[in-house]
Structure 1
Amino acid sequence: MVHFVRKSAALLLSLFVLFVVLPHNEAEAAENDKVYVIPVEQTVENGLKAFLERAVEDAESAGADHIIFEIDTPGGAVDAAGDIASLMEDASVPTTAYVVEKAMSAGAFLALSADEIAMAPGTQMGAAQVINGSGNAAGTKAQSSWEKNMQNAAELNGRNPEYALAMADPAVNLPEYSAGEGELLTLTASEAAEVNYAEYTPENREALLQELNLADAEVEEIEVSAAEKIARFVTNPVLIPILLSLGSIGLIMELYSPGFGIPGLIGISSLGLFFFGHMIAGFAGYEALILAGAGLTLLAVEIFIPGFGIFGLLGAGAFIGSLFFASYSALNIAVSILIALILSVVTVILMFSVFKKRGPVKRFVLEDSVTTEEGFISNESRSELIGRTGVSITPLRPSGSIQLGEERLDVVSEGGYIEKGLDVKIVKAEGSRIIVRNISE
């Protein structure tokens, strides 16, 4: 009897653990799950990379159990896409790329770099050929490297690389998905699911969380901060030459304005945005800012205290060096500086021709003039002497002297040599230059 009671108690205890304690622990574990949702939006560029680095680091530091990258991008820079893909692949927690609108070009590469892919109905992924700055297909070398990257990203998670290659190479023929010869492959959500390029096709984020068994997880949305939005905007390769041009032109125009006005404010603000954005994005450090300040200070010294160009050269060199220190691409910043330089030269020419001598630039221009109307006479013209005759008192070879009445004049012969003691006639008087002709013959 005692043995039966002990067995019954043990059984009841087991049932208690099974139906009470374990479910409670599982519910508690589910409540502790954390999912971080990170947006991958707009153009893929270095500003986006800086934001994603910060977002993934925050998720990992907070002990996230899963990261969902919500993708909606038309593509962008290949180098930035490669860095972001490495960031996604190296994440210490499972990742899912959720295509909420489109994942085109570099966006498709990013989706393939996640552990899993989900695509909402009506979304697309593909068309990932490399395009150069002029909008044409990139060279063979760059294209070949990109195709390999696409294939490797697909193979990394057990996907058929043929479809990734068809997204990047128009020569790959996949007619069953409307990607004939000369067309890049673009997959819809249902097509991606058919070829194992999407594990899930959920209607929304909640449905995706259900698919991932994370319906009860704590969801944390990472948002782009105001500073990061500015950084993404001003680090765009298209905007950089515009900022540098506005900065240089604004400061040049300020030289033609007394005091400090709107042109100078625009110039300083444009350059400030450039450095602020690159510092927030992680491309520039304080050394670039200090070097830029030193360069501008030396240029100001050259303007107000001329130093034979030494301060100007040092200042220009320091400022240009700071731009290279702050930039993520030496080629991009070199092109941007060249554009700004050309526009600045054109502006200087226009300022001189239209505004001439105004503002601090007056220090470089001689303003005083001497005119006859103001009483300044460089040489008195003796026009009343024309037609009068005199006698040469020195040989004229062709210059010499003549006696005109009681006045001795320095003259020049009209022709060649004139001997001493001959009669001459004054035929022209141009300022201090008096020309005579031999009339003794």
Structure 2
Amino acid sequence: MKSLIITTLLVLTTVIGIGNDIATDTLRVYQFELLEDIGAGSWRKTKKAMKEAADSDAGLILIHMNTYGGLLNAADSIRTAILNSDIPVWVFIDNNAASAGALISIAADKIFMKPGGNIGSATVVNQTGEPLPDKYQSFMRSLMRATAESHGADTIIVKKDTTIVWKRDPHIAEAMVDPDIEIEGISPKGKVLAFTTKEAIKHKYCEGEANSINEILDKQATQPYVIKKQELRPIDHIIHFFINPVVQGLLIMLIIGGIYFELQTPGIGFPLFVSIMATILYFLPLYVEGIAAYWEIIIFAVGLILLIIEIFAIPGFGVLGISGIILMIVGLAMAMVDRLEFEYMPILWSVLGKAFFIVTTTSAISLFVSIWLGGKLFKSSRFSQLALNTVQNTDEGYIGIDNSIIEIQGKTGVANTDLRPSGTIEIEGKFYDAMAKDGFIEAGTKIRVVEVKMAQLYVKPMNNVQ
């Protein structure tokens, strides 16, 4: 019996050992996709993929790519992550790797392309597709050149001649950005370089042609392999959706429109709820992603508070209201800008300009549409109850303002507080709220009431009264 137990244990140990050897000999491949315009969502997927690949002891990361380009800052973040990866990274270009996609692909250890695919055309352009000034192109050229150089070169010595053969030629990488770079037999002057699959293989910017990822691994892998594909959770899809610039623009419109309609209707109602929800959906995904910082949210909140104070607590519209609007715009725009942007000054102003353009444009459109739509809704019979349209006629006993206020016009007094432009004044031992007609008035200055309009007193210093 004892011999049987020992024999069984030996057999089990052998089987387990063989199983471990098989598991050790299997290549674990982690695959994720970049099939969209490169942006904040792409960078988020890449960070997640790198971490999960390391946690699962993957021996290879394989990117399935098909993109026409995207945001340079996101592409550079992905490029840097690939260059610093301890796990080899391969890219399968499933048709297109243009602009930002080309930068990311060149960073990979190996590039494979589908028949009929292309790589290149990495000139930096603005929102309308026009090339940006040369300082931006210079920055992109340096990124492309440095990325190509990172793969190293072979030094070939024949007698007294020494030749350096780059694994990825940096001049070719630069020619994908700058049309003024001419490479004989490859890129004529005046044309931005882009390779087809065959051309990329010929000039060492592609290791091979394949129709699928499995075909690549069947040809290249020297051992059995197993593929683990990235699985995004529902929350990941939601975050990717809400950090899309188009969606962000729509949320800004809802924020501004909600505030406008709330100010036009009595009490607290649905427009305020819409505005609050849009604000949460705008800032929360950006904050979770690490794109927005808490101080940007505070700036927006302070701006909103100042605007509310100006509208409800202070007559007229002045410094507080303007400051509030500016702070709200700054908070919304700065929240769009990744902290990484500030490390790359050549593109910082371009990114900031784009963020402020989106915020100001969508805010203006929202305000215009809200005013137009409000006029239509409040005049309709169905929604007229949302606005206060009751007319209080004087022949029915209603008095618009206190008659004693009207009688104050022309009287003199003293500014009790600074009028900047609003404050309080003292006339005949009584205190009144008033506004400076022109500029600011310091406390203690003798004043005269020059106008009474809608129960509001307007005053001027005595020495300025004609």
- Using the alignment, how far apart are the partners of 1:360 and 1:287 within structure 2? 36
Residue in 1 that maps onto 2:102: 108
Amino acid in structure 2 at the alignment position of 1:236: N
- Using the alignment, how far apart are the partners of 2:135 and 2:331 within structure 1? 32
Residue in 1 that maps onto 2:341: none
Amino acid in structure 2 at the alignment position of 1:240: Q
1:153-232 paired onto structure 2 within 5 Å: 153-157=147-151, 158-173=167-182, 179-213=187-221, 216-232=224-240
What is the CA deviation profile of residues 220-254 of structure 1, one whole-angstrom value per residue up to 9, with x for unaligned ones? 11134433333333333454333212221133124
Relative to structure 1, the CA distance from residue 359 to residue 203 in structure 2 (aligned partners, 3 Å threshold; closer, same or farther) is same
Amino acid in structure 2 at the alignment position of 1:44: I
- Using the alignment, how far apart are the partners of 1:209 and 1:161 within structure 2? 28
Worse-matched range after superposition: 48-57 or 368-377: 368-377
SS in 2 for 1:192: helix
Residue in 1 that maps onto 2:253: 245
* CA-CA distance at 1:361 after TM superposition: 7.3
What is the CA deviation profile of residues 289-345 of structure 1, one whole-angstrom value per residue up to 9, with x for unaligned ones? 576567657766777x64668997887677556435633254444333322443355
Q: Within the alignment, does 1:370 sit opposite 2:365 as a pair?
A: no
Relative to structure 1, the CA distance from residue 134 to residue 232 in structure 2 (aligned partners, 3 Å threshold; closer, same or farther) is same
Relative to structure 1, the CA distance from residue 316 to residue 112 in structure 2 (aligned partners, 3 Å threshold; closer, same or farther) is same
Q: Within the alignment, does 1:323 sit opposite 2:332 as a pair?
A: yes
Amino acid in structure 1 at the alignment position of 2:138: S
Give the number of aligned pairs. 353
What is the CA deviation profile of residues 12-65 of structure 1, one whole-angstrom value per residue up to 9, with x for unaligned ones? xxxxxxxx999987634213x321112112111122112211221221233221
* CA-CA distance at 1:261 after TM superposition: 6.3
Task: Tell me if structure 2 keeps the 8 A contact 1:227–1:280.
Answer: no
Amino acid in structure 2 at the alignment position of 1:275: F
Residue in 2 that maps onto 1:339: 361
RMSD: 3.9
Match of 1:29 among 3, 10, 24: 24
Task: Tell me if structure 2 keeps the 8 A contact 1:295–1:315.
Answer: yes
Residue in 1 that maps onto 2:161: none
SS in 1 for 2:61: strand
* CA-CA distance at 1:278 after TM superposition: 0.9
Worse-matched range after superposition: 20-29 or 257-266: 20-29
- Using the alignment, how far apart are the partners of 1:333 and 1:153 within structure 2? 28
Relative to structure 1, the CA distance from residue 325 to residue 299 in structure 2 (aligned partners, 3 Å threshold; closer, same or farther) is same
Relative to structure 1, the CA distance from residue 166 to residue 285 in structure 2 (aligned partners, 3 Å threshold; closer, same or farther) is closer
What is the CA deviation profile of residues 171-204 of structure 1, one whole-angstrom value per residue up to 9, with x for unaligned ones? 3446856x54433222122221111111122332
Residue in 1 that maps onto 2:408: none
Unaligned runs of 5+ in 1: 1-19, 379-441
Amino acid in structure 2 at the alignment position of 1:342: A
Amino acid in structure 1 at the alignment position of 2:175: A
Amino acid in structure 2 at the alignment position of 1:334: F
Task: Tell me if structure 2 keeps the 8 A contact 1:96–1:116.
Answer: yes
1:296-311 paired onto structure 2 within 5 Å: 306=313
- Using the alignment, how far apart are the partners of 1:234 and 1:358 within structure 2? 34
Task: Tell me if structure 2 keeps the 8 A contact 1:120–1:201.
Answer: yes
- Using the alignment, how far apart are the partners of 1:203 and 1:349 within structure 2? 54
Amino acid in structure 2 at the alignment position of 1:343: I
SS in 2 for 1:228: helix
Amino acid in structure 2 at the alignment position of 1:72: N
* CA-CA distance at 1:349 after TM superposition: 4.8
* CA-CA distance at 1:160 after TM superposition: 1.5
- Using the alignment, how far apart are the partners of 1:45 and 1:165 within structure 2? 22
Query: Identical aligned pairs, as a percentage?
Result: 26
SS in 2 for 1:168: coil
Amino acid in structure 2 at the alignment position of 1:161: P
Unaligned runs of 5+ in 2: 1-14, 152-166, 338-350, 402-466
Relative to structure 1, the CA distance from residue 100 to residue 267 in structure 2 (aligned partners, 3 Å threshold; closer, same or farther) is same
- Using the alignment, how far apart are the partners of 1:111 and 1:101 within structure 2? 13
Match of 1:92 among 83, 86, 91: 86
Amino acid in structure 2 at the alignment position of 1:30: D
SS in 1 for 2:77: helix
* CA-CA distance at 1:265 after TM superposition: 5.0
Task: Tell me if structure 2 keeps the 8 A contact 1:119–1:200.
Answer: yes
1:256-405 paired onto structure 2 within 5 Å: 256-257=264-265, 263-264=271-272, 266-285=274-293, 306=313, 319-320=328-329, 322-323=331-332, 326-328=335-337, 330-347=352-369, 349-350=371-372, 355=378, 369-372=392-395
Amino acid in structure 2 at the alignment position of 1:63: D
- Using the alignment, how far apart are the partners of 1:371 and 1:343 within structure 2? 39
* CA-CA distance at 1:375 after TM superposition: 9.6
* CA-CA distance at 1:216 after TM superposition: 1.9
Relative to structure 1, the CA distance from residue 377 to residue 44 in structure 2 (aligned partners, 3 Å threshold; closer, same or farther) is closer
